[in-house]
A and B are shown apart, each in its own frame.
Chain A
Amino acid sequence: MKILVGIKRVVDYNVRVRVLPDGSGVDKDGVKMSVNPFDEIALEEALRIKEAGNADEVIVVSVGGDECQQQLRTGLAMGADRAIQVQTGQSLQPLGVAQAFLKIIEREDPGLVIFGKQAIDDDNSQTGQMLAALWERPQATFASKLNIDGQVATVTREVDAGLETVEIDLPAVVTVDLRLNEPRFVKLPDIMKAKRKPLDVLPLDELGVAAESTLSVSHFAPPPQRGKGIMVEDAAQLVQELKNRGLL
């Protein structure tokens, strides 16, 4: 079966994110961009599934401008077989991205689609679930374990109460969480090989996706600063203060 892995180009997780003084966005000047860390985990899982003999092709897909080809090449260097860029200059919201992926699914007919659980820029955690809805297939989110047995996947999900296990029939969408695996390092010779692997560019409008932005985002502000609070003299005062605030 084929596995599609969605990857997103995001500000690197090490960057000290700063809001522009005029509030129009986040300062991306000279800032390092990388593959969304959760997407790397998703790709790593796909590669392991292939190496275990349960898939024959791993395709990395990204929706965005030509800059995201850099991240697609990283995916190819990690071991993906093919890359697809859904080319658009618009900044799509998750529903539009899900619609684009549905079109790719129609072309590629994968058995599994894997995403990171969220992108570390927008922190939405929506795309995988939305795609599953549009595709009318199962979703298993926040996966910390994934086991494929024929046409059935058993997924352990990290939820607030603990670890939940579900069984889903393929084809399906899985979104992955931090503890699923540790992504492999890229080998230098594989970077060279990646340059020769196929990277297809599909313009968004050619796919027939009418991406509508029903939400608009504005007024970027820094988070409220924590300031100095009050000082207490001893444990008794501390306990009293906590009780007053309903914390004890």
Chain B
Amino acid sequence: MSEREIMEYDVIIVGAGPAGLSCATRLKQLKPDLMVAVIEKASEIGAHILSGAVIEPGPLDQLLPGWRDNPPPVCVPVEKDELWLLSRTGRRRLPTPPQQKNHGNFTVSLGALCAWMAPQAEALGVDLFPGFAASEIRFTDDGAVGGVIIGDMGIGQDGQPKDTYMQGIEIHAPVTVLSEGCRGHLSKQLIRRYELDKDAQPQTYGIGMKELWRVQPGKSKPGLVQHTTGWPLDSKTYGGSFVYHLDKDRIAVGFVCGLDYEDPEFFPFEAFQQFKHHPMIHELLEDGEILSSGARAIVEGGYQSLPRTEMPGALLIGDAAGLLNVPKVKGTHQAIKSGMLAAEHIAAGASAEGFDARLRDSDIVRELYKVRNIRPAFNKGFWRGMIRAAFETATAGRWPGTLPVHADHACLRKLDGYTAPERDWVDRDLPPRDRLASVYFAATEHDEDQPIHLQILEPDVCTNRCSREFDNPCTRFCPAQVYEMVEAEDAGRRLQINAANCVHCKTCDIKDPYQIINWVTPEGGSGPNYQNM
């Protein structure tokens, strides 16, 4: 293995989502002479981005003042908000909580928004490199972060170089910005290495699954924003849905489950499909067609789980830090603001130092503080959660005290001694029939001859302990059916990993009860190819 080629930048940004692109854009606005690069593991900007999404435009107005005259391709002004409590066949309209009042906001495709931001960043001189995955951090001699190492390409499943082998280069920069999104794999390593979370509560997450549908003409009411809670979830499982009506007869429908659920047999994908069969939703979707589908973990911990966001040579922004506002169901405005703040900080001092204090002093974290007790309140069940949520909203979070949270993977109950609640689920007739059919619409692609990017750190645990204790929940919580327990040649069972199905959602890395699944980045350019998601 020869010495890696080196490229040098003033700032290297890992991940071209809204946070990373905002940071890059702002940096060049403030200091046009700075050399700024953004690397992105997706083959194209936006291809790995999946979100509802209803966004607050304020930060975009600050970053790109003329944007409303030249909006991104999917951009529908919100006209109406509805919150519904569902039972299997019925529904009750609830008052829209203030955090979910969206007047002045826009329903967008976050992926299309990023694809729209990209050329604007490039026009300012940002070097954007989609198709390249940062696989390792490069450390300087004194242990600081000094850039990243791009993953080697053209390695076979056996770990050996193929004919197309190309060694990844090193990108050196005095400041590295981690904007990998929720549960970024490099962010995870760095948080551990620098103990950035030692004064914080464990980070908690949800899984978000989404489908973009083209429905029968007239069914979509552009500008309508609907959220539901209740059925098909039980009172102990946090979650709900979104139904965002777009133009061109399109509807974005999605479902979120808190990953602190306790039922080991719970099947998030199935819950999503059940939701679609509620009469109110079924009526919207019937005779429609799925355009795109996918999933992504969502960071939920908020204020109490926020790690220290700076370390020598690097800083965390966006959901890599964990800035999403759960009651608002929004993280994009936070991501953009944090990207801009990071840019301002770096432009002023050329180092990461002091960023954490700035972030905690900003309205980004103030916003999180106000709602810090809402999501954790649901740990006591749905109704207690609703009551506490109303209280916290009324007091704008001023009641002192902060509710604790628990690590999601520790919440899973063992089979022994646990009885799952009655689910009251229905027979289904809407596509996709199963996860394989769903994955088809994610257009996810991995060269099958490459090392499996889902590392099982203790493989024996799967058959020796997990089968017995939890019935291999990975075979259910993965939305892409990556994990299957199949019959082994010599009787018994083995874990089969269909790595090619992976949509890079990171749920397995989060929810596995033994924390032995380590998600690392596959070859750059692999993964989903989301369109307008």
Contacts and interface: CB of A to CB of B under 8 A. Distances in A.
B66 to A, nearest CB: 22
Interface in B131-183: 131-132, 150, 153-154, 162-164, 166, 169, 171
Contacts of A187: 5, 166, 169
Given A14-B443, A30-B115, A188 B129 contact: yes
User: Does more than half of chain A's interface fall in helix, strand or loop, or is it mixed?
Assistant: loop
Interface in A12-32: 12, 14-16, 18, 21, 29-32
A184 interface: yes
A183 B440 CA distance: 25
A75 to B, nearest CB: 15
B60 interface: no
Contacts of B338: none
A189 B529 contact: no
A63 B4 CA distance: 37
Interface centre among B46, B112, B291 (most CB of A within 10 A): B291
B44 A16 contact: no
A184 B73 contact: no
A189 B47 CA distance: 23
A54 to B, nearest CB: 20
A185 B164 contact: yes
Interface string B106-130: 0001011001000000000001010
A29 B74 CA distance: 10
Contacts of A200: none
B529 A15 contact: yes
B166 A185 contact: yes
A29 B73 CA distance: 9
B443 A16 contact: yes
A18 B171 CA distance: 39
B531 A188 contact: no
B43 interface: yes
Contacts of B153: 185
Contact of B166 (A16, A18, A184): A184
Contact of B154 (A14, A32, A185, A189): A185
A5 B5 CA distance: 29
Contact of A189 (B111, B163, B169): B169
A188 B169 contact: yes
A14 B445 contact: yes
Contacts of A14: 443, 445, 529
B173 to A, nearest CB: 14
Contacts of B1: none
A32 B532 contact: no
B477 interface: no
Interface string B5-18: 10100000000000
Interface string A124-159: 000000000000000000000000000000000000
A184 B164 contact: yes
A191 interface: yes
Nearest to B47: A32
B441 interface: yes
A182 interface: yes
A31 B115 CA distance: 11
B531 A31 contact: yes
A190 B150 CA distance: 14
A30 B109 contact: yes
B132 to A, nearest CB: 6
B5 A192 contact: no
B532 A182 contact: no
B522 to A, nearest CB: 14
A30 B164 contact: no
A102 to B, nearest CB: 34
B291 A18 contact: yes
Contacts of B131: 186
Interface in A40-97: none
B127 A192 contact: yes
Nearest to B129: A188
B315 to A, nearest CB: 23
Contacts of A182: 162-164
B132 A32 contact: no
Interface string B420-461: 000000000000000000001101010000000000000000
A178 to B, nearest CB: 15
B112 A30 contact: yes
Nearest to B248: A29
Interface of B: 5, 7, 43-44, 46-47, 73-74, 109, 111-112, 115, 127, 129, 131-132, 150, 153-154, 162-164, 166, 169, 171, 214, 249, 291-292, 440-441, 443, 445, 529, 531-532
7 contacts: A21-B249, A30-B46, A32-B44, A182-B164, A184-B164, A187-B166, A192-B127
Interface of A: 12, 14-16, 18, 21, 29-32, 182-189, 191-192
Given A14-B529, A30-B111, A185-B153, 13 more contacts: A12-B529, A15-B529, A21-B249, A30-B46, A30-B115, A30-B532, A185-B154, A185-B166, A188-B129, A188-B132, A188-B171, A189-B7, A191-B129
